[in-house]
Amino acid sequence: MEPQSRHRMIDLTSVWSNVNANWARTEAMKVVNDHTQHLNHLFSGMISPPVIRLAKQLTGAGPAGFDKAFFLSTGGGSNEAAIHLARFYTGKLEIVGVAAA
């Protein structure tokens, strides 16, 4: 027998699962809008107001030329993005890695 829970959750982060769910229902749109005003992080493809405020604070605190913020969810994603940016900036393909033995 499955445990009973009074809490229910639907994961709607996939476009395929939410594209038609409650679309254009005023009550649903209001609830979603109200809740997204207070989210700190969803995933890198969705940006919430607190994340926008943080990006503005970070870019405003740095020296001239540091006017972009790029938020990622994982260390692996951050490393991959750093490699892509370095390759784009330098035009080179080689990467040097250092590991402790």
The reply to whether 100 falls in a domain is no
Rounded to an integer, what distance in angstroms lies between the CA atom of residue 23 and that of residue 33? 13
The reply to whether 11 falls in a domain is no
Whole-model pTM over 0.85: no
- The reported pLDDT for the residue numbered 27 is 81
The more confident residue out of 73 and 2 is 73
Q: Report the number of distinct structural domains present in the chain.
A: 1
For residue 47, the tally of other CB atoms under 10 A from its CB is: 16
SS (H, E, C) 37-92: CCCCCCECCECCHHHHHHHHHHHHHCCCCCCCCCCCCCHHHHHHHHHHHHHHHHCC
Domain with 20 in it: 16-90
The reply to whether 3 falls in a domain is no
Give pLDDT tens digits for 24-62: 677 877 887 787 777 766 666 677 788 888 889 999 998
